[in-house]
């Protein structure tokens, strides 16, 4: 084991404001109009990370299933709300669809990768919370992309879909190509990331482990596992969301809804 990570104290945290001040000065000098956005983003990051640092620290001290499961559940609800908010204008009932899909895909991923692959049989939040968070966050992006793609393709290819309906196709038969493309599009960011991993950039988890003092080969192996876990959860979430959502764009009489 290498020596432990240098702690960031109050002075170090205050010094983080210097680069932010430079970014804002640049924005003012070049009239980029980003000061407001940068300020809000910085403030949110500070509050959210302070809170999460404290909460996770608290849960880490407890080491009980209840607190691990409770924290994961809160993360799931926030992800469900966020995903349905982002894609929510497209169909009703998206909140429960998204929560169900994200919960299901993350649960399956967590169970397989923690129980079978790593073999964590205790409530150690060090594994459950970061792995669950990464799977959940990526699954959320994939499910949102998938739903948004279906909505935009259905509105763009209205004529193609109606041609199929007219020929006697069910909504599922009429939207199959669109659903497939949407799932493919939702997986693209993850697949692209897998293509360049280690060559163009070091992913967050590996960087974090390296900073934390993990031996580089093990950090790389953990990164490999998390990439595969993310691909797995993304695929389940994108597919689940697509299958549960497409029918909501049609009426019971196989009519494509308007707008």
Partner 1 sequence: MRGVDRAVGQDGNAKRLLTGIDLTIARNTITHIVGPSGSGKSSLLRLINRLDEPTSGTIEVLGKPSRDWPVRELRRRVAMVLQEPSLLDRTVEENLRLPGVLHGLDNGDPRAAVEQVGLSADMLKRAADQLSVGQKQRVALARAIITKPDVLLLDEPTSALDPRTAEELLDQLIAIRQQRELTIIMVTHRLEEARRLGGQMVVMIDGTLAASGEAAALLDDPPNGVVRQFLIGGDDETD
Q: Which residues bind partner 1 (CB under 8 A)?
A: 159-160, 162-170, 173, 251, 253-255, 258
Choose between 24 and 164: whose C-beta lies nearer to partner 1: 164
Per-residue CA distances from 146 to 10, 44, 78, 152, 233 (Å): 42, 27, 19, 10, 13
Taking the complex as a whole, the smallest distance from the CB of residue 248 to partner 1 amounts, in Å, to 16
Instruction: Give the shortest CB-162-to-partner 1 separation in angstroms.
Output: 6
| Closest approach of partner 1 to the CB of residue 170, in Å | 7
Q: Whole-number minimum distance, CB 173 to partner 1, in Å?
A: 6
Region for 28 from its dihedrals, namely left if φ exceeds 0, alpha if ψ lies in -120 to 50, beta otherwise? alpha
Nearest to 191 by CA among 224, 220, 227: 227
CA distances from 106 to 67, 136, 142, 229 (A): 17, 6, 12, 9
Q: In the chain, what is the straight-line distance between the N-terminal and C-terminal CA atoms, in Å?
A: 59
In whole angstroms, give the CA distance from residue 100 to residue 107. Answer: 10
Q: Of 225, 230, 222, 246, whose CA–CA distance to 139 is shortest?
A: 230
The least CB distance from residue 225 to partner 1, in Å, is: 40
Beta carbon nearer to partner 1, 151 or 161: 161
Residues 220 and 226 sit within 8 Å (Cβ to Cβ): no
Tell me whether residue 115 or residue 251 sits nearer to partner 1 (CB atom): 251
Using CA atoms, how far apart are residues 259 and 255, in angstroms rounded to an integer?
A: 13
Q: Name which of 119 and 168 has its Cβ closer to partner 1.
A: 168
Name which of 127, 146, 134, 143 is nearest 229 in CA terms: 134
Task: Give 121 or 258: the residue with its C-beta nearer to partner 1.
Answer: 258
Considering the complex, what minimum distance in angstroms separates the CB of residue 251 from partner 1? 7
Q: Decide whether 9 or 159 has the Cβ nearer to partner 1.
A: 159
Angle made by CA atoms 188, 193, 194, in degrees to the nearest 5: 100
H-assigned helices in 63-170: 65-87, 94-110, 125-156, 158-166
Pick between residue 48 and residue 255 the one whose CB is nearest to partner 1.
255
CB of 164 to partner 1, least distance (A): 8
């Amino acid at each position: 084991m290498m020596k432990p990570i240098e702690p960031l104290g109050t002075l170090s945290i205050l010094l983080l404001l210097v680069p932010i001040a430079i970014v804002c000065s640049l924005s003012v000098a070049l009239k980029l109009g980003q000061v407001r956005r940068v300020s809000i983003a910085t403030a949110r990051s500070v509050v959210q990370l302070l809170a999460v640092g404290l909460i996770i620290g608290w849960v880490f001290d407890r080491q009980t299933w209840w607190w691990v499961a409770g924290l994961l559940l809160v993360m799931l609800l926030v992800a469900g709300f966020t995903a349905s908010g982002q894609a929510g204008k497209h169909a009703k009932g998206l909140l429960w669809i998204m929560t169900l899909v994200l919960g299901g895909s993350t649960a399956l991923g967590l169970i397989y990768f923690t129980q079978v692959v790593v073999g964590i049989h205790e409530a150690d939040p060090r594994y459950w919370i970061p792995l669950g968070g990464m799977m959940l966050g990526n699954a959320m992006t994939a499910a949102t992309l998938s739903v948004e793609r279906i909505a935009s393709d259905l509105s763009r290819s209205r004529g193609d879909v109606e041609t199929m309906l007219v020929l006697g196709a069910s909504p599922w038969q009429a939207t199959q190509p669109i659903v497939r493309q949407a799932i493919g599009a939702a997986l693209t960011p993850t697949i692209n990331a897998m293509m360049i991993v280690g060559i163009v950039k070091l992913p967050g988890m590996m960087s974090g482990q390296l900073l934390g003092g993990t031996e580089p080969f093990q950090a790389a192996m953990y990164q490999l596992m998390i990439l595969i876990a993310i691909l797995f959860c993304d695929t389940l979430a994108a597919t689940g969301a697509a299958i549960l959502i497409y029918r909501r764009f049609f009426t019971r009489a196989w009519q494509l809804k308007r707008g």
